[in-house]
Amino acid sequence: MAGDVRGEDKKREIVRQAFDRFYDGGFHATGVDAVLSESGISKRTLYKYFPTKDDLIEAVLEFYGQFIVGKLFDPVAASNEEPRQQIMAIFDARKAMIDENPTRGCLGIKAAQEFVGKHAGLAAHGKHAALYVERRFVDLCERAGLARPAEVGKQINVLFQGALLLSQVYGDGSPFVSAKHAVAALLEADDEPTPSDRQ
Question: Rounded to 5 degrees, what are φ and ψ at 7?
Answer: -60, -45
**Torsion angle, CA of 105/10/118/22, rounded to 10 degrees?**
30
Q: Is residue 189 within 8 Å of residue 198, measured between CB atoms?
A: no
CB of 17 to a second copy, least distance (A): 18
Question: Rounded to 5 degrees, what are φ and ψ at 167?
Answer: -60, -45
51 binds DNA (CB under 7 A): yes
Candidates 12, 24, 26, 48: give the one binding DNA (CB under 7 A).
48
CB of 109 to DNA, least distance (A): 20
Q: Is residue 118 within 8 Å of residue 96, measured between CB atoms?
A: no
CB of 41 to a second copy, least distance (A): 23
112 binds a second copy (CB under 8 A): yes
CB of 43 to a second copy, least distance (A): 21
53 binds a second copy (CB under 8 A): no
d(CA 192, CA 195): 6
- Comparing CA positions, the residue from 53, 48, 37, 36 lying closest to residue 115 is 53
| Residue 116: other Cβ atoms inside 10 A | 14
The nearer residue to DNA, 107 or 183, going by C-beta atoms, is 107
C-alpha dihedral sign at 55, 60, 65, 70: positive
Residues that bind DNA (CB under 7 A): 2-4, 6-7, 10, 30-34, 40-45, 47-48, 51-54
Residues that bind a second copy (CB under 8 A): 24-26, 28-29, 103, 105, 109-110, 112-114, 116-118, 123, 126-127, 130, 151, 154-155, 157-163, 165-166, 168-171, 175, 178-179, 181-182, 184-186, 188-191, 195-196, 198
